[in-house]
Structure 1
């Protein structure tokens, strides 16, 4: 018997499902009805004024034996345009300027027509729906109907409370398979060395993900000069070239210039997308934030309040000692690694065979695997600690998490290299260890981040497809199949791990690549495959993430710049240790140290001068931003003058009040 899903067929033609909400299977009917009423209610009545439909009606759920509570959320064209104004969406006007979209001036924006539905991209529509759902706030309710333990208070985000209480299991946007197929064809399905369709990625996934792939592409091409220059240093006799001085000097200039040029490219892209001039909204408390109910002095709304001193106590008395303990443990593991190196070397010296020569690389491989395991375990602990610190804002949470993870990853990945370079002073072992750590980490990341999730997702997709085919569902139920497949996909947790991988790669290249010049070449090869593997996991492995407006790569820009400063110190020290430089100062080591320190300070000064001399924004972008600011001030002035004129018209003649008259 074939089953036709009439719920899908009877949708109004204006309803396009954008977002899926999955409720727990045992959710009470009164809770469902209350949530539906709040979502579809008008804005003036405290609702979101969105379209809300069940994926299956009761009869179809009984026929299919499906107990899942899946709902589709959409919005009318008018509602989306008003939502675009509410979130401050910036679009290009017919005169070429970028302005915040307003419904009243909609016809002045390029590409807008009353009868078109493609003025807003699907990613923008889904972002607007998410914004409206998250801004559904409690009014008189003191609890979620049917769940007395799920407390509410005026101003509390209803969706966040439903998520934290387990009533709503997940909220995710749907894929647009036709647009996704076009994007895949232009992005990664055909192997060729071409630029990525960054604008198309932005239209489908949003600015945050587009900026990551833009930075990945930019960083990969920026590595090519380092890779080309490094090849002759590796292929020819090292002693014939002043390798440390020339290569390290180029390294210092390169690491500074590429980061400054990236900021200009980033500003150019984000201005074109409208996020560079997009006004930042007032940040709401993050979902996990808790405290005693009080009144926010800025917004005047009721929300949890948590004393700052308690958070500081948790940071300095618990989190900081824990991080220090983890750093000590990392150093302890490093010393075990050097013991293994000594053991492998002694075995090789005793036997002298080719097989024991291979044994010399085993400790480095094992250590690289242990580093990856420790990084991932520490990441989980850092997330738990940062959440326990109870930060009010998501930005504060992310900054503290990034700081914890970067400090540990930096020491865990680079401590052994610093020890070999400046304590053991064994440049041969340094090059060997750097190569092993870099290549092993790249292979592990490719397997764990892309190949394994893709294999698991393919296995799950086949299982779901067999289940749907066994039900003999009509082809009209393609939406039902799509929701079943996508709801079981993994959730993309953001670009944190992707940027972290590039950050560590940048460290391997900029800190010690003069000792192992092939580091940049291996990084280039890895990144060319990384583009395809990351694109694959975005399109086929994970659920479609919500679009998030971004004007830059955020705190990662500062992280990369900090690494480039550290590379100045490292490379100057390596130059000072090189045989060529030591030959100039055969007796006076103190003079050598002083000269190296002076050169280091001079290079740091040059680095900061370059950073200052290269503007963060191109000249034409600066002019456009200044013009936009001037026009905004003029418009505000005109508005004030208009209000003043109206108030003068309403004032009674002779300056008398009505009672006086």
Structure 2
């Protein structure tokens, strides 16, 4: 697509002339919706397709082998599978295709090359055709960069809707079939037709949806276990000994939670708070943390096996990425410095090491600056919480005053969420700027560098406040009479007597819930609004005075031009959203067992939303090949390792599991009395975990002299008032021991499971060896047949000269 008013006429004419010289046929047609737009339709004849298929080593079928017939089972049909008649033209479903790059079996020239394969061949030609006389003055990407052309895309195969039902009249085209059997919301519970996705959009997009579907399916057991853990906390909430003691503590006076306006309060006032805390801080927390760490390993290991099966079925086992062409920006920047490419043997622009290092240092400095900006935003939220704490504690409304901790945490989380979403917009622009500043050599290097920056930025942005609540909130508050204050004015926030885990849970729940809603709205709402605006403009009078109000009369390329192009970053945004969600699902899952359930529900919507977007709202992206999900696999493995560490610290430091455990086995009523019920062993736990402070020391005018606070310190009447007790050191030692044991145990289990699960299934290895054997046998038979023909041709005489 180009504008008639574009000044780059000479480059365009040279480029199109060279395309014709390569054997392509060009056809120009004006747009019916814009007088300034001209379309160039590029056709590839059969001979041209075959020539470039051989140059690109595209592997095509040379023999079909029918699979074994399936035996009818007495089991009911799996409702998640698509009906076989729903995909009538997918030969991959019924045939195993042996592939080779030099011998073809051609039954039908029209269907021999799939649509995505033809597009890939054409893109190969477009990328290597010159537009100026010069060594590297070639490629459609460079022409798009200098505005010679406005866009270049393969058109969709037709409309995605039909007046007639697909069951009775069949699919009009592959796009219609994809919409009916994949992108339609009514079949959200069905498996995805990956072969059809791969054939229409290419292997790279097919692998993304395969990974997304695999991740969603693996979330089902994690969500079920998380719900069971939550239900266990729900059913034991009223019978919990700790909750009972807090709810019955009508005479336990707690120290004021703020300096100026707060008064001493009764521990029983936080009864509801304690019960809600028990939902997420109970005996199932440790089990679920271990389960999710193992689950992350199993997910990644089995994905490797699934990927191996897909790369075999899609014939990507022996595929290697072609030598990528240089980015136009890289060529323009370093056109004066050349060296010989060790692969192609041709001279090409080269980035000196000193220049590369200096640009990398600037980029790293930019990353640290943005991370510092995040930490500054977190500090601002902390200051807000300290101010809001005093305001809510002295609020006129009794409901807010009574639940001031919920009000403080809730407003803090909401403000933090707004800051996160605002900074995300800034991060994308900064990451784009820093990546371009590095001048990556190829598009894949640019994509990997940009992906890593976006992940680092958004991961720190999303999780920095969560780390603060998990590991710093209430740790440095001090004690009554000697509180630590920020700027000598605001007293640092304390944890609730029942622990800080509920604050962490609230932080995760709000951010995860609202972020997923916002992302889904933006993914679907933004393209819909833009396409609606395009359709509105199309209702106006088009070129030549013809009314084009009926969109069905438009040619397909004109319809696609008015759709939205795929994101400039490709699949980066799609992967980034899911990888960040994976981090939320695993890193702090001990504090929020419902995270896998929220992720599962979101992903069920996400699959169909992405499918609907690709099929109906976006132009058809250029099909590309890939064998894996790229840099994201390494990031997922890193998140899995980090999840073990953070969950160990959450249970040991944030949760009250360790203090309860130490009390039950060292200080509780069950010591030296044999095994008893857990609740019996925790009797007196709250009294043991609260220390005493003499308020008269601070000249407090309250009617109460003594108040309690959360800590393990000696009472004011002891010989060493307010010093740490022996129980404090026992709890500290138990926390450190738990972290070490937990990490070593889980890492050991993860490593053992990874060792047990091979990256490639045994039956797949056998099939690959069998196929290799058959190919060698067929080559031997073909050579023998050739020799026999030569012998007959020579009248029975045969002469062979051994080397």
Q: TM-score, normalised by structure 1?
A: 0.82
Q: Offset of 1:161 from its aligned partner? A: 3.3
| Cα distance in 1 for residues equivalent to 2:550 and 2:46 | 25
| Cα distance in 1 for residues equivalent to 2:554 and 2:329 | 32
C-alpha change, 1:634 and 1:381, in structure 2 (3 Å) is farther
Indicate conservation of the 8 Å contact 1:88/1:100, yes or no: no
In structure 1, the residue matched to 2:467 is 418
- The partner residue of 2:56 within 69, 87, 90 is 87
| Cα distance in 2 for residues equivalent to 1:29 and 1:246 | 68
In structure 1, the residue matched to 2:287 is 246
- The partner residue of 2:36 within 67, 75, 82 is 67
In structure 1, the residue matched to 2:446 is 397
In structure 2, the residue matched to 1:35 is 15
User: Is 1:51 aligned to residue 25 of structure 2?
Assistant: yes
Q: Deviations over 1:208-241 (max 9, x none)?
A: 1121122222211211222222223334136584
User: Is 1:333 aligned to residue 377 of structure 2?
Assistant: yes
| Cα distance in 2 for residues equivalent to 1:515 and 1:305 | 51
In structure 2, the residue matched to 1:284 is 325
Q: Secondary structure at the match of 1:599?
A: helix
Mean Cα deviation higher: 91-100 or 337-346: 91-100
Q: Offset of 1:366 from its aligned partner? A: 2.6
| Cα distance in 2 for residues equivalent to 1:154 and 1:250 | 57
Q: Secondary structure at the match of 1:462?
A: helix
Q: Offset of 1:65 from its aligned partner? A: 8.1
In structure 2, the residue matched to 1:349 is 393
Q: Offset of 1:476 from its aligned partner? A: 12
User: Is 1:301 aligned to residue 346 of structure 2?
Assistant: yes
| Cα distance in 2 for residues equivalent to 1:207 and 1:38 | 29
| Cα distance in 2 for residues equivalent to 1:333 and 1:313 | 29
Q: Offset of 1:637 from its aligned partner? A: 12
Q: Offset of 1:516 from its aligned partner? A: 1.4
Q: Offset of 1:497 from its aligned partner? A: 0.8
C-alpha change, 1:364 and 1:584, in structure 2 (3 Å) is closer
C-alpha change, 1:82 and 1:477, in structure 2 (3 Å) is farther
Unpaired stretches in structure 1, ≥5 consecutive residues: 1-20, 42-46, 143-152, 643-652, 654-661
| Cα distance in 1 for residues equivalent to 2:129 and 2:553 | 27
In structure 2, the residue matched to 1:512 is 588
- The partner residue of 2:357 within 305, 312, 322 is 312
| Cα distance in 2 for residues equivalent to 1:28 and 1:228 | 60
1:198-209 matches, within 5 Å, as 198-209=194-205
User: Is 1:464 aligned to residue 462 of structure 2?
Assistant: no
Q: Secondary structure at the match of 2:587?
A: helix
Q: Offset of 1:95 from its aligned partner? A: 5.3
In structure 2, the residue matched to 1:181 is 176
Mean Cα deviation higher: 297-306 or 116-125: 297-306
Bigger helix share: 1
Indicate conservation of the 8 Å contact 1:91/1:273, yes or no: no
1:146-545 matches, within 5 Å, as 153-177=134-158, 178-192=173-187, 193-235=189-231, 236=234, 237=236, 241-290=282-331, 291=334, 292-298=336-342, 299-316=344-361, 318-351=362-395, 352-354=397-399, 359-360=407-408, 361-424=410-473, 426-468=500-542, 471-472=545-546, 481-493=555-567, 494-545=570-621
Q: Deviations over 1:215-274 (max 9, x none)?
A: 222211211222222223334136584122111111111111011111111211121111
Quote the RMSD (CA, aligned, Å). Answer: 3.3
| Cα distance in 1 for residues equivalent to 2:749 and 2:61 | 39
Q: Secondary structure at the match of 1:191?
A: helix
| Cα distance in 1 for residues equivalent to 2:34 and 2:321 | 46
| Cα distance in 1 for residues equivalent to 2:148 and 2:190 | 46
In structure 2, the residue matched to 1:657 is none
Indicate conservation of the 8 Å contact 2:326/2:442, yes or no: yes
Q: Offset of 1:155 from its aligned partner? A: 4.2
User: Is 1:106 aligned to residue 104 of structure 2?
Assistant: yes
| Cα distance in 1 for residues equivalent to 2:45 and 2:291 | 56
Q: Offset of 1:638 from its aligned partner? A: 13
C-alpha change, 1:98 and 1:380, in structure 2 (3 Å) is farther
Q: Secondary structure at the match of 1:517?
A: coil
| Cα distance in 2 for residues equivalent to 1:167 and 1:187 | 37
| Cα distance in 2 for residues equivalent to 1:543 and 1:324 | 37
Indicate conservation of the 8 Å contact 2:540/2:549, yes or no: no
Indicate conservation of the 8 Å contact 1:431/1:516, yes or no: yes
Indicate conservation of the 8 Å contact 1:231/1:517, yes or no: yes
Mean Cα deviation higher: 84-93 or 515-524: 84-93
Q: Deviations over 1:34-81 (max 9, x none)?
A: 22210010xxxxx3x21211114xxxx8x9982323211121123223
| Cα distance in 2 for residues equivalent to 1:122 and 1:627 | 30
Q: Deviations over 1:290-328 (max 9, x none)?
A: 302524232232322221221111111x11111111101
Unpaired stretches in structure 2, ≥5 consecutive residues: 66-95, 159-172, 241-277, 475-499, 663-726, 787-800
C-alpha change, 1:590 and 1:198, in structure 2 (3 Å) is same
* Greater gyration radius: 2
C-alpha change, 1:28 and 1:364, in structure 2 (3 Å) is closer
Indicate conservation of the 8 Å contact 1:136/1:158, yes or no: yes
Q: TM-score, normalised by structure 2?
A: 0.68
| Cα distance in 1 for residues equivalent to 2:550 and 2:660 | 80
Indicate conservation of the 8 Å contact 2:540/2:547, yes or no: no
- The partner residue of 2:739 within 582, 596, 616 is 596
